[in-house]
Structure 1
Amino acid sequence: MTLTPLRRLLILATGVLVLVGVGAWSVLSAADRAAEENKPRAGGPTFADGKVSLSEPDRLVFRNMARGPRRDRLVSVPAGTAAGATRTASDVSCLRFHAAAGTGVCLQATTVLGRPAYRAQVLDSGLRTLRSYPLAGIPSRARVSPSGRLAAWTVFVKGESYGTAFFSTRTSILDTRGWKLTANLEEFAITLNGGPYRNSDVNFWGVTFAADDDTFYATLSTREKTYLVRGSLAARSVTSLAENVECPSLSPDGTRVAYKKRVLGTAALWREHVMDLRTLKSTALAERRSVDDQAAWLDDRTLAYALPADGRTGVDDVWTVPADGTGTPRLLLSDAQAPPRATE
């Protein structure tokens, strides 16, 4: 069939209309999906915009994960009525967050030259930014020392999960007294199993600080094993204490660490334990689900941690459990991410 100029024009016009229709359908579909994802969950938490402070007594401050316009915002609730309380929402968004003594560290997503990037924001008690630092990868862990003077963060520079075979991390510690940044803990001297150690596959993550603003504990990974290490910022060194310890969290009294222990041959990949640092004896906790989190101590007797929410993809709930192995897990906050920090 011979294509006349008129027929060619009609075919071209038809093609343009089809493309326009497909484009419009794609835009509308994307808008519908975004609207659905942004739609608050029926029965979910309620919100009120307001001031969130890290120094307001008896309130929990945490990352809100409920879908809607306040997703990822830092919010606060009264500590005694956390579960059903209206959440006071700030305008600060974080992917990871921790605070102590009026200092917060917030790991955020941002853009640099139009490309996705990440940064660490050091916040004062009113959530104002004091300093900002670019991050080398995807945020994973964040901690502030009990005095508020030290902050630590871990990012994935390769891979996105501790449960995968191939990942690499970078852990940094910041001293806010002189804004001195230790960019990579892998530069520290390592004593492993009683002797000096160095290997290209070393990774650190999950820093937790003691009260002296020098001593810290962390996970060291090498040759497919993990270790609890005790470190000194002043000495720029770490020493191994025990094997099969991940994401330690030091108790307020400084005598124990909560941690996740890899458990083989069970449905749970990790089981939460507490170790006595004097004896290195561990106690398994009553939570039998797999906890992939760095737990937080609400007090000397109670731990809080995040677990994936049932039926809500990409959302966590915060649970608590006694730290001595007794009791049963209890839901503390829905649509939230640990650690909720009780301000003082």
Structure 2
Amino acid sequence: MTRPLQNRTRVLILLVAVLLLGTVGTGAVLYASDQSARKDQVQPGGPVVTPGPVSLQPGAARTLVFRNMAWGPHRDELATVPAGHPDGPRTSSGVQCLRFHTAGGTGICLQAEHGALQDTYRAVVLDDHLKELHSFPAAGIPTRSRVSPSGHLAAWTVFVSGDSYAGTDFSTRTSIVDVRDWNLRENLEAFDLIRDGKPYRAPDVNIWGVTFADDNAFYATAATGGQTYLVRGDLAARTLTTLHQNVECPSLSPDGTRIAYKKRVPGASADAPWRLYVLDLATMTETATAEQRTIDDQALWSDTSTLLYALPGDFGADLWTVPADGGGPAVRLLEAAVAPAYPG
């Protein structure tokens, strides 16, 4: 083949390759655009969602507030339904949160801010009408949030590295703020850890999943040396004291006597290792709930005997309930929802 012919052949091949790449690139852009547009379209058979006012104050009838996961223009917004009719129409607030909790008229909303190159995150403290009172930069991907019963303290956990609790290659950052004076404890790893009655220090300590007893005492998970522990925190003393092993994402019962949590169990898969348990704080007796699927959530007590938690669903996640005493089956309460809370 002569050199001019070789050159023409190379040019032709290059043009064909460019055209193919352009076609693939255009197809990818169109596919992404179509997927994004689908999120704004109401999916047939999904919940009815309409915009309206959402309050974090308890009313005459109990309500449930949550992150709405139903496809449509109100996806990811905080929405509410009557607690007694969870399958009824939803009222959506217009406020978007990745994680959320409320108590005492205060809300904590973990949000994503989408940038051209990467997303950033922030923790937003809301008043009882979902108006922003204060915000703090969050160091990573939001994962857990809680408000103390009085509404005076708010806590949140983010992944600083990694995006799952299933493995060991992750790092968290957990913060607590007092909304009365905006005093921020930015990283609970700075607290003194007391393990088995002795001061303990290690570079691999991680803290996550705060649940409040009052405006000073709280519980959380501490991880170190490949083990997880339930710790009791003292905000004033800046201490964390281990109480029980193999406890993650604790949730204190309304009467302050029990902790619901996810526990790693033998024989489970590496990416789905947890089952839902309840710990009696007086006796340290563990009770397995009837939920046999893996739980990667911080369960919520809907009352003194029932747990509420999220599992994967058709729209992203559904909310399920199960008796805390292990005596009854799990029941789906609400589809297309996550991060629930009962104002009060």
Q: TM-score, normalising length from structure 1?
A: 0.91
**Counterpart in 2 of 1:235?**
237
Q: Deviations over 1:196-229 (max 9, x none)?
A: 1000000000000013x00000000000000001
State the secondary structure of the residue aligned to 2:189: helix
Written as runs of structure 1 = structure 2, the 5 A alignment for 1:163-202 is 163-202=166-205
Q: Deviations over 1:13-57 (max 9, x none)?
A: 988877765554443333223233443332111111111111142
- CA distance in structure 2 between the partners assigned to 1:301 and 1:53 by the alignment: 26
**Counterpart in 1 of 2:157?**
154
Q: Which residue, 289, 293, 311 being the options, matches 1:289?
A: 293
Does 2:260 align with 1:258?
yes
Q: Which residue, 265, 269, 283 being the options, matches 1:279?
A: 283
- CA distance in structure 1 between the partners assigned to 2:209 and 2:27 by the alignment: 45
Letter in 2 for 1:107: L
* Structure 1 pair 18–59 and aligned structure 2 pair: CA distance change class (3 A): same
**Counterpart in 2 of 1:343?**
343
Q: CA RMSD in A?
A: 2.4
**Counterpart in 1 of 2:85?**
81
* Structure 1 pair 137–278 and aligned structure 2 pair: CA distance change class (3 A): same
Letter in 1 for 2:341: R
1:149 Cα offset (Å)? 0.4
* Structure 1 pair 194–33 and aligned structure 2 pair: CA distance change class (3 A): same
Moved over 3 A (4+): 7-27, 36-39, 111-115
- CA distance in structure 1 between the partners assigned to 2:29 and 2:115 by the alignment: 26
- CA distance in structure 1 between the partners assigned to 2:204 and 2:21 by the alignment: 50
Which runs of no fewer than 5 residues in structure 1 stay unpaired? none
- CA distance in structure 1 between the partners assigned to 2:291 and 2:18 by the alignment: 59
1:288 Cα offset (Å)? 1.1
Q: Deviations over 1:272-322 (max 9, x none)?
A: 11111111111111111111110001111111001111xx3x711100011
Which runs of no fewer than 5 residues in structure 2 stay unpaired? none
**Counterpart in 2 of 1:204?**
207
Q: Deviations over 1:155-214 (max 9, x none)?
A: 111110000121111111111111100000011111101111000000000000013x00
- CA distance in structure 2 between the partners assigned to 1:61 and 1:135 by the alignment: 23
Letter in 1 for 2:248: E
**Counterpart in 1 of 2:122?**
119
Does 2:102 align with 1:99?
yes
* Structure 1 pair 41–197 and aligned structure 2 pair: CA distance change class (3 A): same
**Counterpart in 1 of 2:69?**
65
1:8 Cα offset (Å)? 12
Q: TM-score, normalising length from structure 2?
A: 0.91
1:67 Cα offset (Å)? 2.1
- CA distance in structure 1 between the partners assigned to 2:10 and 2:159 by the alignment: 54
- CA distance in structure 2 between the partners assigned to 1:127 and 1:139 by the alignment: 19
Retained in 1: the 8 A contact 2:38–2:71?
A: no
- CA distance in structure 1 between the partners assigned to 2:229 and 2:43 by the alignment: 41
1:342 Cα offset (Å)? 1.8
Does 2:308 align with 1:304?
yes
**Counterpart in 2 of 1:142?**
145
- CA distance in structure 2 between the partners assigned to 1:222 and 1:19 by the alignment: 48
1:89 Cα offset (Å)? 0.6
**Counterpart in 2 of 1:322?**
323
- CA distance in structure 1 between the partners assigned to 2:230 and 2:201 by the alignment: 16
**Counterpart in 1 of 2:43?**
41
State the secondary structure of the residue aligned to 1:31: helix
- CA distance in structure 2 between the partners assigned to 1:160 and 1:22 by the alignment: 30
**Counterpart in 2 of 1:333?**
334
State the secondary structure of the residue aligned to 2:46: coil
Identity of aligned residues (%): 57
Structure 1 window deviating more from structure 2 (9-18 vs 235-244): it is 9-18
- CA distance in structure 1 between the partners assigned to 2:199 and 2:206 by the alignment: 16
Retained in 1: the 8 A contact 2:160–2:172?
A: yes
Letter in 2 for 1:136: A
Letter in 1 for 2:71: R
* Structure 1 pair 17–78 and aligned structure 2 pair: CA distance change class (3 A): same
1:9 Cα offset (Å)? 11
* Structure 1 pair 196–14 and aligned structure 2 pair: CA distance change class (3 A): closer
Structure 1 window deviating more from structure 2 (8-17 vs 145-154): it is 8-17
* Structure 1 pair 289–21 and aligned structure 2 pair: CA distance change class (3 A): closer
**Counterpart in 2 of 1:52?**
54
* Structure 1 pair 50–197 and aligned structure 2 pair: CA distance change class (3 A): same
State the secondary structure of the residue aligned to 1:30: helix
